[in-house]
């Protein structure tokens, strides 16, 4: 069996700088965080559209979408891979499972930034330490200032009123355990690069434009 010490980083001939030059912009990770129903996925999707219109190379990683594959729950994996495999590699929604979920996504986001892309993510990611760890991974793989934490600050009562997936109703009824904002905590960012007021009535387009303005100011896009 190979040991961890046997794993050596392999340098690529084509580097990140060359990829950025070809795309015409800096690579970055824009990490949307906030309660379920706060609007982060909708805003990230609109931001993706606006950046694409500017000719930027982008990729959007959405929490629900990644749970269909890379971060699939145990019950989804057991059908094809069996119970032992599913128990070992499937992810639930407890604190440790969420930590691994964000670790995997952070690594993927860092790889996409290495490809020169502006990578957008939309995850509840409720714990500060997990988000801070992703920031370190992204910046160690690139440069300081590559990670933009965007907090979609929407009051819990507004998220519950929206409840687009009916999850709050189930959580209040005790049908969903470890639900952020109800039975599990959400640790709001202390120093995000940007805070968006998700309960202000602004449109997703207007809120996404605020992120574009930040990326212009920081020299990610022109």
CA 126 to chain centre: 11
- Of 27, 24, 47, 16, nearest to 150 by C-alpha is 47
CA distances from 23 to 57, 62, 181 (A): 6, 23, 39
How far is it, in rounded angstroms, from Cα 42 to Cα 38? 9
Catalytic annotation present for 76: no
User: Across the beta sheet with 147-153, what order do the strands follow?
Assistant: 58-62, 118-122, 28-33, 147-153, 194-197
- Single out the catalytic residue among 5, 41, 125, 203: 125
CA-CA distances (angstroms) from residue 91 to 53, 117, 128, 208?
35, 27, 19, 30
Instruction: Judge contact between 101 and 133, C-beta under 8 A.
Output: no
> How far is it, in rounded angstroms, from Cα 141 to Cα 130?
17
Q: Which residues pair with 148 in a beta bridge?
A: 30
If one counts every other C-beta atom within 10 angstroms of the C-beta of residue 71, the result is 23
> Which neighbouring-strand residues pair with 30?
120, 148
What amino acid positions are annotated as catalytic residues? 125
């Amino acid at each position: 069996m190979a040991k961890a010490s046997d794993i050596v980083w392999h340098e690529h001939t084509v580097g990140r700088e060359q990829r950025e030059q070809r795309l015409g912009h800096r690579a970055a990770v824009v990490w949307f965080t906030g309660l379920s129903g706060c609007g982060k996925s909708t805003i990230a999707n609109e931001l993706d559209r606006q950046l694409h219109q500017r000719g930027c190379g982008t990729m959007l990683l959405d929490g629900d979408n990644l749970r269909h594959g890379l971060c699939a729950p145990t019950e989804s994996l057991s059908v094809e891979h069996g119970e032992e495999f599913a128990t070992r590699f499937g992810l639930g929604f407890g604190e440790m499972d969420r930590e691994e979920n964000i670790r995997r996504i952070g690594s993927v986001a860092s790889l996409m930034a290495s490809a020169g892309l502006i990578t957008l993510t939309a995850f509840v990611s409720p714990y500060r330490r997990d988000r801070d760890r992703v920031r370190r991974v992204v910046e160690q793989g690139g440069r300081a200032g590559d990670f933009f934490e965007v907090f979609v600050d929407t009051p819990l009562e507004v998220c519950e009123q929206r409840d687009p997936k009916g999850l709050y109703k189930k959580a209040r009824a005790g049908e969903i355990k470890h639900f952020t904002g109800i039975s599990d905590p959400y640790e709001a960012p202390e120093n995000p690069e940007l805070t968006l007021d998700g309960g202000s009535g602004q449109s997703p387009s207007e809120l996404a434009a605020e992120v574009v303005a930040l990326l212009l100011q920081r020299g990610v896009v022109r």
